[in-house]
Amino acid sequence: MTGTWHKTACNLCYVNCGIEVLVNEGHVAKVRGDRSSPKSQGYLCNKAARIPYYTHHKDRLTTPLRRRADGGFDAIEWDVAIAEIAERVRTLVDRHGGKSMALYGGGGQGNHAGGAYANAFLRALGSRNVFNALSQEKTGDFWINGHMFGSQTCHTAEDVHHCDLLFVIGANPWIAHGFPNARDHLNQIRKDPARKLIVIDPRRSETAGMADLHLAVRPGADAFLLGALLATLVRSDAIDHDFISEHTVGFDEVKQALLEIPAEEWAAAAEISIADIERCAAMIAAAKAMVVRVELGIQQGVNSTLNSYLEKLLIMLTGSFGRKGTNQLHTWLQPLWGNSPGQKFSPTGDEVIAGLLSPNIFPDAVLGDHPDRLRGVWIDSSNPANTASNTKAVEHALRSLELCVVVDVALTETARLAHYVLPASSQYEKTEFTLFNFEFPTNYFHVRAGVLPPLEGTLPEPEIYTRLARALGLLPGDNVLAPLREAARRSRPEFAAAFRAFIGENPSAAVVTPLVLYHTLGQTLPDGTAAAAPMWNAALLCAKRSPQAVRRAIGASDDIPDQALGDALFDAIVAARQGTAITHHEYSEVWSLISHPDRKVRLAVPGMLEWLARLDPETAGAPKEFPFMLAAGQRRMFNANQIFRDPAWRRDDPDGALLINSADLGELGARDGEWIAIESAVGRLIVRCKIDNSMRNGQLALPHGYGQSYPAADGERLTNGPRINLLTESGNRDPIAGTPYHKHVAVRLSLAPAHEVAACQMQSERIHASAAAER
């Protein structure tokens, strides 16, 4: 096959493996793993091989759109769109203040460069209100990290490839990955008799099927199981006293709380035998290096913040931290989230965690009567109408806004409710970089240049925000920035001095620093990677925080001063199309990444032990009126995220089937593959069912990444698969972090009426016939 191979990165999960794509006549024709990638070393999963279905499909936007009163859209020119949006933003901010605006998103999977510019734009308007996917998944974990490690930006990593015991909780890395080269490492563990695998998961997942011990916990009872395990470890004295004494504070209080747990009663609530819990404890005690891997199974499950606390206690009490093959902290080039302990969002009173707001409060933040309620929302690379809990409430909130602008590559479900839609270039048509860099001891960063020409009519985010910022008077004109650009062309030290002087003389420009750097330093970067210019500041800070680790990573000598070291790191980042190491630590240096002044971990977290004491085993079951527990948002072989809109990319599971045990389906009186009704307290869907006897009785699963509209052959937009958040309720959430209990949605099943079955079958056939014709 003719064409040219280009190095880039996968955009389907946050591991962002290095890949190469074959480009032929402006199209991605083939994908392969990049063997030169220092992080993934040629690894490629089945999902990444389907990236051409993301880059080329018939749902791309090619012109700005303005919504009409009847709900339709008119195509308008870019200049018109920018002028009208700027005027409406100015009016709204003048009338209600910048806090009446919020950003939702600011970058999707592998699409992070735009986030720097979107956040700068928001802050220039006077707002720090940000909703995104992380605040729907991880903020309970961030809150715990803030207490235990001293900052919400302290984040744990897993040294999987050196462990002799991998303990997986609420995750399925065979399908969902979550750490580099996941399948390779799982296979190595499976084949090595000296290495073991424990999995906690209600379902006998692909990963659980490889485990030496699978604890098939009752859905929603993870806290009971983890509590019983910790109590067993303490009672059997299978804990690391030397580690606890040297590196932690507050053990006595935690020990007393764990000793009060009735382990047998809690094991019964989790439907796990005490013998299996004791076997698990013995395997942990026998391990030389255990690493704990968790994911959304507990982070979006019942008691999610408490689950994250118990997971961290398991790591710390067993001394599984700061050694080869255990859990670690990691460095950042640029943190993906912030540190905001104790801050409150005044319209709802909810806590702001890691600088982020939970999507569960979005409808209340818009529809409430607080004077600071949200009146305008800027949505960048996100689709809350499909991804946030309680779809109907989210849609109501979006329709109620005075201004809603969406920046995206397609007419998403959210975009259809916006006042304006701005067409972005796709992730492979522009410079991008990957910010999910969670490795230790060596951490990596990947700047990737565009490999395709931008689709005509689209703009990359830096250009979109440049036009808006200039229309609003937030960014100096090109003539003002020209001296900075010339200084950058002469030398980096000269640019650094000129940049500091410029910000001193123009303090209002500091908030739009990413745009200033894009138009000055960015114009000197190789391969058209100007959008990576904001990483210059990040590189300088990284070199200042961890100079020795940076020197090791890039091979710099000890006599290079910190400023020059930061410049050298930045140059290494922007020059390497396959990605590059940014830090390399010794294992003993992990303690320097803890933010508490004494570098010790706080084991007793306020409120957590009281929460643990309140747990009632009687609450572990499903309510009688909704006897099934649905995991809403399961990861499967052919689903990824909301950026994949073309139904043709899926080789199987085209309708996003409901997985159900054969006994449960038989009791319902339905057959495999039929359409059935699923109903929660807030919504109802008709879904195709599929027998999967890896599911427990009473357990169901629907996948994420479906429920998207896509044009059929005749142009009519049809919805492909279940919009699962029609079933979820925003009040079913964690009391601290607000993360939704998407893995624990109470539902009931019934046979679907014949007319609904016929309609669903017809729609499925039409959309998949259209998809097949495009192949």
Q: What is the pLDDT of residue 435?
A: 85
What's this model's pTM, rounded to 2 decimal places?
A: 0.96
Q: How confident is the model at residue 521 (pLDDT cuts 50, 70, 90)?
A: very high
In angstroms, the CA 538 to CA 519 distance is 17
- Alpha-carbon distance values, 693 to 197, 202, 203, 664, 686 (Å): 22, 12, 9, 10, 21
Distance separating alpha carbons of residues 397 and 384, to the nearest angstrom: 11
Nearest 10 degrees: Cα torsion 265, 268, 270, 275: 100
In angstroms, the CA 319 to CA 343 distance is: 32
Q: Return the pLDDT at 154.
A: 98
- Does 775 or 229 have the greater pLDDT score? 229
pLDDT tens-digit map of 47-94: 888 888 888 888 899 999 999 999 999 999 999 999 999 999 999 999
Q: Whats the size of the chain, residue-wise? A: 775
Residue 640's pLDDT band, with cuts at 50, 70 and 90, is confident
Classify the C-alpha dihedral 193-177-300-352 as positive or negative. positive
Q: What is the CA radius of gyration of the chain?
A: 26
Cα–Cα distances (Å) from 198 to 118, 322, 324, 676, 763, in that order, read: 41, 21, 19, 35, 42
Looking at the domain covering 4-56, what would its CATH class be? alpha beta
pLDDT at 106: 83
% of the chain exceeding 90 in pLDDT: 89
**Are 4-56 and 622-774 the same fold in CATH?**
no
Give one DSSP letter per residue of 185-199, joined into a string. HHHHHHH-TT-EEEE
Strands (E), 453-594: 580-584
What is the dihedral angle through the alpha carbons of 39, 43, 49, 53, rounded to the nearest 10 degrees? -10
- Residue 300 confidence (pLDDT): 96
Give me the residue label for tokens 């999977």: 109
Q: Answer yes or no: is pLDDT of 775 > 60.
A: no
Task: Answer whether residue 537 shows pLDDT above 80.
Answer: yes
Q: Name which of 187, 180, 179, 229 is nearest 206 in CA terms.
A: 187
63 CB neighbour count, 10 Å cutoff: 17
Q: Mean pLDDT, to the nearest integer, of 628-641?
A: 91
**pLDDT tens, position by position, 13-41:** 888 999 999 999 989 999 999 999 999 99
Q: How confident is the model at residue 644 (pLDDT cuts 50, 70, 90)?
A: confident
Q: What's the whole-number mean pLDDT along residues 670-692?
A: 97
Helices (H), 97-181: 113-124, 134-137, 139-149, 173-176
Strands 432-434 and 442-448: what pairing? antiparallel
For the stretch 171-213, pLDDT in tens is 999 999 999 999 999 999 999 999 999 999 999 999 999 999 9
Beta-ladder partners of 703: 634
Separation CA 312–CA 605 (nearest Å): 11
- So what's the pLDDT on residue 109? 60
Mean pLDDT of 418-431: 95
Please name the residue that has the structure tokens 């928001």: 122
What is the average per-residue pLDDT within 394-407?
Answer: 98
Closest CA to 699 of 645, 658, 727: 658
Residue 75: Cβ within 10 Å count? 12
Mean pLDDT over 214-228 rounds to 97
- Nearest Cα residue to 622 out of 302, 331, 164: 302
The pLDDT of residue 773 is 65
Mean pLDDT (the chain, rounded) = 95
Mean pLDDT over 130-156 rounds to 97
Class of domain 622-774: mainly beta
Closest C-alpha among 477, 476, 428 to residue 453: 428
| Domains of the chain, residue spans | 4-56, 156-329, 622-774
Fold of 156-329: Dimethylsulfoxide Reductase; domain 2 (3.40.228)
Question: According to the 3-state scheme, what is the secondary structure of 49-84?
Answer: HHCHHHHCCCCECCCCEEECCCCCEEECCHHHHHHH
**Would the pLDDT of 622 be above 80?**
no
- Residue-level pLDDT at 191: 97
pLDDT value at position 619?
83
Residue 562: pLDDT over 80: no
Looking at per-residue pLDDT, the higher value among 716 and 318 belongs to 318
